[in-house]
A and B are shown apart, each in its own frame.
Chain A
Amino acid sequence: MNLAVCSQTPLVRLLSVDLSSQGTVDVERLVLDKDYVFSPGGVTRMVYPLLIHMKSRNYVEGVYWVSLNPAAPSVMLYNGIKLISVKVDETSLKGYGAAKEHMWKLFHGTADQSIPQLIELAWRDEYAYFNLYNRVCAETLLELDKTEELDLFYIHDFQQLPTGYMLDTLKPKVFRWHIPFDEKVIPPDWEPFLTKFLNAYDAIIVSCRAYLNSLIKRGYKGRAYHIYPYIDFKEYRRPERTETEYFCGRFGINDDDFVVLLVARLDPLKGHDIAVKALAHLVKKYPHLKLVFVGNGSFSSSSKGLGLDKAGSWKRMVSGMAEALGVSDRVVFTGHLPQDMLDAAYERCDVFILPSRAEGFGLVVAEAWLHMKPVIVSSAAGISEIVEHGKTGLIVDPDNVDEVARAIEYLIRNEYTRMEMGVLGRRAAEILSIERGLKEEAEVLRNVAEGSP
């Protein structure tokens, strides 16, 4: 079977080298972390192993990754996958980015009144450019189909939703919705507009059971599945003591600090501000409390992506808040960390926190579990569905800073509970193993491609 993946996020991003004018570039001839990086984020971290898994089992022959990559060469090759760059002009890209950001906020339920509702947005010029981006993706996929005889289209995330409707082919189309699909924030009057696009797909996969129920309630009639996101446990290891010491030394973390870790990209949705406010509640009583933020911007924030400076402005806002609350010396921003340093951060922390206002899933909680750490998880995160409150973690309301602070304090005061939660959390993480996820997802794709029930 020949499979084409379409996602806004490119699999790899070129760094210093300008090869945009070249025809086909073999990425493996370039140097990782010098010439290119593997794009961070949930889509690439899940879909790439899935493709490799399917290739290794001969489920697929040709694999194509079509994504927005304005500064990249038209075609790149990476580990047997043909990467095809979608390019749109600057004006269209800007309009697309603006519409996409509005939608992101709307689907996460964090849009304020200045943001138009979805139907209103679909009458604005930005939406015409959002539509244009999707049309370019669809046309690219259809052209690819002419030469490569594709058997299945696998489209990823909300910003690509119209792509399936635009693929005027009877070949099967599967959509994976990565962000929350919550009936509480998707009003019924969006249904006619959304279902027109949703029902163009033969199957839709969402990240948890709650989203699946919402999807069906909002009028999706095709095959619907929930598959928990997954990670490769082998990528995480317990760091050497020296590595952890290096991490602490680099970021000014002392032996007697009680470290609360938050790993997330810098985005208002992730609730860095909630963590800072909770810290301010506790710091007088627990002066050794330290909040460590790991993460940077996303593809949308990057200068080679959409160029939206979300991460920078959010960092300035959170830093300003920490300063105003008198806790700036207790807050550390590490930026993006390579895997060995990330492992050290998990190893050193005492508690992991994810206070997101909305969160498609929250695989970082699973990462913390792999390091046997107790977790405090927002009830708005998809992963809260598998957190057993009081056993594998604590579930908190992200809108209630007192509750978040109480949860941190509870874990500061109960060392045994922290250890016990870490052990139970490690067991709970098994459900998020790559082996399970790949098996389930590959089965869905094969069944849809073969027309099996």
Chain B
Amino acid sequence: MIELGLVNVTGVVLRLATVAAILLITYVVARLFTAILGRALRGGPPLIVDQAVKIVSVFVWAVGLLLAVNQLGLNLDVLLVLLAVAGVGLIVAARDVLSNVLSKVFIGTYIPVKLGDYISVDGFSGKVVEINHVATVILMDDGSIATVPNAQFVKAVNVNKTSLAPQRISIPVTIPSKVSFPKAEAEILKLVYRYKPRLDQRFPPIFTVKNRGTNSVEGELDLLVSNPELREALTSELSAKIKELLDRLDRDAASK
């Protein structure tokens, strides 16, 4: 009896020690993952970065707790089902926000809308005063504000009444920090100058910085095509050429 009792106590202590070790490792991994993610998304919108970091932290803790519970010899099936339901619920609850965040990527490049444009979307007309990661804010003619979810620009027809909108091209450009930003910009401009005959010559290209990260500078090259029908073809061609140029500059910088 005494022997059995000793075995049981040792087993329980060992299990508790294992659980403690798992929780400690979970804590370290959660901190590590959130730190890495926070650093990687440093340039992003703070609200979304904050949420992403929290989700990753919750996920790591959920896995850690499952492993810990498993060590205690409890049945995991019910817990796993509960977690799966919670995950599906989270995705369902956040699907609108996610679709708006994803739609933002298309606004400006494939959906020709920019700050200052006069647009009509989903029955609302006015001047675009803000495009954030969730919604586009329109200042309407009567002075009121309409907040249109970005996903509406993908789902619904929108009309841009700005005179030059059909000609406009905005090419997103990411310049790695290894490459000299001023020099890369000058090379990009010189490359674009060669497309002058196909562009509206009244509007020389202008590069605008949108975001500065530790690893790169993100910006946008604004151009106007002479023929609106060439918008997409020219966007694709110029984007590819610029990428090629930046890859070459990146290689050159690395070889130095």
Contacts and interface: CB of A to CB of B under 8 A. Distances in A.
B186 A92 contact: yes
Contacts of A92: 183, 186
A128 B193 contact: yes
A132 interface: yes
B256 interface: no
Nearest to B210: A168
Contacts of B46: none
Classify chain B's interface size.
10 to 19
Contacts of B209: 166, 168
A128 B192 CA distance: 10
B182 A125 contact: no
B190 A135 contact: no
Contact of B182 (A119, A132, A189, A192): A132
A131 B192 CA distance: 14
A123 interface: yes
B117 interface: no
B190 A128 contact: yes
A145 B157 CA distance: 44
Nearest to A133: B182
Interface string B200-240: 01111011110010000000000000000000000000000
B186 A128 contact: yes
Of the candidates A131, A136, A193, the one having the most CB atoms from chain B within 10 angstroms of its own CB is A131
Interface string A107-143: 0000000000001101111011101100110010000
A189 B181 contact: no
Contacts of A132: 182-183, 185-186
A123 B203 contact: no
Contacts of A129: 186
Interface in A193-210: 193, 196
Contacts of B187: 128
Given A135-B182, A139-B181, A119 B204 contact: yes
Contact of B186 (A131, A139, A166, A193): A131
Q: Which A-B residue pairs are the 9 nearest by beta carbons? A: A122-B204, A135-B182, A128-B189, A132-B186, A128-B186, A132-B182, A168-B209, A128-B190, A136-B182
22 contacts: A88-B182, A119-B201, A122-B204, A123-B193, A123-B196, A123-B201, A123-B204, A124-B193, A125-B190, A127-B204, A131-B186, A131-B207, A132-B182, A132-B183, A135-B181, A136-B182, A139-B182, A165-B206, A166-B209, A168-B208, A192-B202, A196-B206
